[in-house]
A and B are shown apart, each in its own frame.
Chain A
Amino acid sequence: MALREISSLEKYLGLKKPNKYSTQGDKKVPVLQNNNGPPLVGLVTIACHLVKEAKRPELLGDSAESRAVVQQWLEYRVTKLDGYTKEDIKTILKDLNLYLQDKVYLAGHQFTLADTFMYCGIHPLIVDLAIQEKEQYVNVTRWFDHIQHYPGVRHHLPPVVVLRNRIYTSKHH
């Protein structure tokens, strides 16, 4: 899973030479054997490295503040989102929905690595939502729909249908 995501990211960043990866441990943590240095371990570490290699530092945030926010969401993705349980789904979606109420991207007005990462992480949750639930978490689905149509992001993941109009106007029926 993680490896596929990294190769998607490589393609998105336009890296010509694909790197070779291995995994370690039960959780299959990705490892990148770098030619000129120690091996890099972990999804976020490798991703940040690739962004630097592709000379796209703005994807990690263009100000000190947004850099911190991006790191925070990358952390959230690997600690909270990966390995979620059924009970977590509601809280995750509710919190994210509230957070995205006044934002286009996770870090504000700029597309960052946090958006692709959260998109990949939350995809399995969104796929299973009924239309009524998608409408309930309307900010999440708006952001999700935007990201899945962002050039070059979706790759191997199937598209999710998001309705533009609200069809559940009241609590009842």
Chain B
Amino acid sequence: MTKEEVQGATEEEQQAQSKKGLKKQQKEAEKAAKKAEKQAKLAAEQHGAEEDDFAKDRYGVSAMVQSQQKLDRVLVRVQDLTLEKADQLIWLRARVHTSRAKGKQCFLVLRQQQFNVQALVAVGDRASKQMVKFAANITKESIVDVEASVRKVEQKIESCSQQDVELHIERIFVISQAEARLPLQLEDAVRPDGEGEEEGRATVNQDTKLDNRVIDLRTTTSQAIFRLQSGVCQLFRDTLTKKGFVEIQTPKIISAASEGGANVFTVSYFKTSAYLAQSPQLYKQMCICADFDKVFCVGPVFRAEDSNTHRHLTEFVGLDIEMAFSYHYHEVIDSITDTMVQIFKGLRDNFQTEIQTVNKQFPSEPFKFLEPTLRLEYTEALAMLREAGVEMGDEDDLSTPNEKLLGRLVKEKYDTDFYVLDKYPLAVRPFYTMPDPNNPKNSNSYDMFMRGEEILSGAQRIHDAQLLTERAMHHQIDLEKIKAYIDSFRYGAPPHGGGGIGLERVCMLYLGLHNVRQTSMFPRDPKRLTP
């Protein structure tokens, strides 16, 4: 091809193009005109309609509640919406869980905590077309006040917790509007692993959930988990108080590490430095020396371990027990195991709904325990492990996989998820652990396990100042720093023992969950400081 030819071609093309362009422009102009016409019509319609909207006062966005007025309006709770309330006109405050408009009707699912109910706005003599439209456009998770009559339904509503009734909305006001885009969908956050994979439905990964914890905590699963957790604390307190224990509060800013210096957080304390308590160990023991006899303490505990595992947090809630005993530290074990059993029973009897809700998303076998609690000695456990082909030294500590395996072996043999392992090797325990009188390589110490994972570590403590000094020196601890602690045993100290439980771990293992972050409301680990 020559140059001219090319030019000619392009000119022709241009011409053709401009022709095309003209046509296009014309078309577009026509389109725009049509659109404008339509819009004008719609606006006119709307305008006209707005004027004759008879239900104008029955819906809308309320003014911000700044406590201007005291209405004597009773807000009914969603969980109370049963057949008993049928045909009553009630007021209700709830979140819009989902909304689905269908012609002249709009179905809403209203949610309050873990309960939800179906509600309906339909065009009729109470609601206008505009009201239905307004209801359909309320963003998910907005909080609304609703006046509605409760109606019995023919067919049970499977998707809601209140299955026997639905609400026919007469008034609806938005109290707090949620942004249209949510960082995660609640349905996605509660979907069990693997379900809906074929349909390409999303699940939300743990970090996204934790980043948007406030929304994640609204899910039925989270609601159930933390209600149950509150139950654990309550049962712990109730049981121990009944046994004559006294609740104490201990300082969390301390001058010396209680169990080895490696894993403590250092904080600057005016002109010197201090530590965050790894456990209230030293203080609860000092309370025993101060004649409090039986004490417990519920509070935060800090571990500066840089371990990113499914069961380690850097801050967690410790449930600590310390008690004086008469002659044998098994009195302490019995007291603690009984407390645990009371907690398990209380959960089983009073938190069945919560347990089942969590099970829906995270299936697990029901938690099993024996009465009295199974107590195994360390040597027996080693024998069981060796029989299963595990090679381990007599004075080795249990590794996590072996711990879990032992849990399975115990479950198979004794059918229990909760047991005590007694007589740990002295070498793997802290300096204040009382040595075994019959075998100096062993100690009077014990761990408790739930579903094969450690939840409690405890022991008889040394209440003799001299032996305590010897053991501290053996562990190469600076005696100056723990002087106050050792001195407290010089003026008469009763024999005593105790243990500390991690609240989050107990909840996780009781429910058979796989990550301790699920049972920590705002988890702290080496990589997470927010929210």
Within 8 A of B (CB), among A153-173: 160-161, 163, 165-170, 172-173
Selected contact of A160 from candidates B389, B407, B409, CB within 8 Å: B389
In the complex the two chains form, is B388's CB within 8 Å of A170's CB?
no
In the complex the two chains form, is A165's CB within 8 Å of B412's CB?
yes
Report B-chain residues with C-beta under 8 Å of the C-beta of A165.
Answer: 412
Which residue of chain B has its CB nearest to the CB of A127?
B389
- If A172-B365, A172-B512 touch, whether A163 touches B388 (CB-CB below 8 Å) is yes
In the complex the two chains form, is B512's CB within 8 Å of A173's CB?
yes
B401 at the interface (CB under 8 A from A): yes
A15 at the interface (CB under 8 A from B): no
Report B-chain residues with C-beta under 8 Å of the C-beta of A172.
Answer: 362-365, 512, 514
Contact indicator per residue, chain A 119-134, by CB within 8 Å of chain B (1) or not (0): 0000000000011000
A157 to B514, CA, bound (A): 38
B499 at the interface (CB under 8 A from A): no
Report B-chain residues with C-beta under 8 Å of the C-beta of A167.
Answer: 408-409, 411-412
Which residue of chain A has its CB nearest to the CB of B410?
A167
Report A-chain residues with C-beta under 8 Å of the C-beta of B512.
Answer: 172-173
B452 at the interface (CB under 8 A from A): yes
A167 to B363, CA, bound (A): 18
Contact indicator per residue, chain B 500-517, by CB within 8 Å of chain A (1) or not (0): 000000000000101000
In the complex the two chains form, is A130's CB within 8 Å of B401's CB?
yes
Report A-chain residues with C-beta under 8 Å of the C-beta of B423.
Answer: none
Within 8 A of A (CB), among B263-300: none
Selected contact of A131 from candidates B363, B405, B452, B514, CB within 8 Å: B405
A163 to B405, CA, bound (A): 12
B451 at the interface (CB under 8 A from A): yes
Selected contact of B388 from candidates A131, A166, A169, CB within 8 Å: A131
- If A130-B401, A160-B389 touch, whether A170 touches B408 (CB-CB below 8 Å) is no
Residue of A130, A161, A165, A172 with highest tally of chain B CB at under 10 A: A172
Nearest chain A CB to B376's CB is how many angstroms away? 16
Which residue of chain B has its CB nearest to the CB of A166?
B412
A163 to B406, CA, bound (A): 13
Report B-chain residues with C-beta under 8 Å of the C-beta of A161.
Answer: 387-389
Selected contact of A173 from candidates B388, B409, B451, CB within 8 Å: B451
Which residue of chain A has its CB nearest to the CB of B365?
A170
Contact indicator per residue, chain B 342-375, by CB within 8 Å of chain A (1) or not (0): 0000000000000000000011110000000000
Nearest chain A CB to B479's CB is how many angstroms away? 44
Which residue of chain A has its CB nearest to the CB of B514?
A172
Report B-chain residues with C-beta under 8 Å of the C-beta of A131.
Answer: 388-389, 405, 408
Report A-chain residues with C-beta under 8 Å of the C-beta of B365.
Answer: 169-170, 172-173
Residue of A131, A161, A166, A173 with highest tally of chain B CB at under 10 A: A173
Nearest chain A CB to B512's CB is how many angstroms away? 6
A130 to B390, CA, bound (A): 10
Residue of A131, A165, A168 with highest tally of chain B CB at under 10 A: A131
A161 to B389, CA, bound (A): 5
A170 to B362, CA, bound (A): 13
Report A-chain residues with C-beta under 8 Å of the C-beta of B407.
Answer: 173
Report A-chain residues with C-beta under 8 Å of the C-beta of B451.
Answer: 173
Nearest chain B CB to A69's CB is how many angstroms away? 32
Contact indicator per residue, chain A 57-71, by CB within 8 Å of chain B (1) or not (0): 000000000000000
A8 to B363, CA, bound (A): 49
Report B-chain residues with C-beta under 8 Å of the C-beta of A166.
Answer: 412
Report B-chain residues with C-beta under 8 Å of the C-beta of A169.
Answer: 365
Report B-chain residues with C-beta under 8 Å of the C-beta of A170.
Answer: 364-365
Nearest chain A CB to B365's CB is how many angstroms away? 6
Known A-B contacts: A161-B387, A167-B412. Give 16 more (CB < 8 A). A130-B401, A131-B388, A131-B405, A161-B389, A165-B412, A167-B408, A167-B411, A168-B408, A169-B365, A170-B365, A172-B364, A172-B514, A173-B364, A173-B407, A173-B452, A173-B512
17 contacts between A and B (CB under 8 A): A130-B401, A131-B408, A160-B389, A161-B387, A163-B388, A167-B409, A167-B411, A169-B365, A170-B365, A172-B362, A172-B363, A173-B404, A173-B407, A173-B408, A173-B451, A173-B452, A173-B512
Chain A residues with CB under 8 Å of chain B are 130-131, 160-161, 163, 165-170, 172-173
Top-8 shortest CB links A-B:
A161-B389, A167-B408, A167-B412, A172-B364, A173-B451, A165-B412, A170-B365, A172-B512
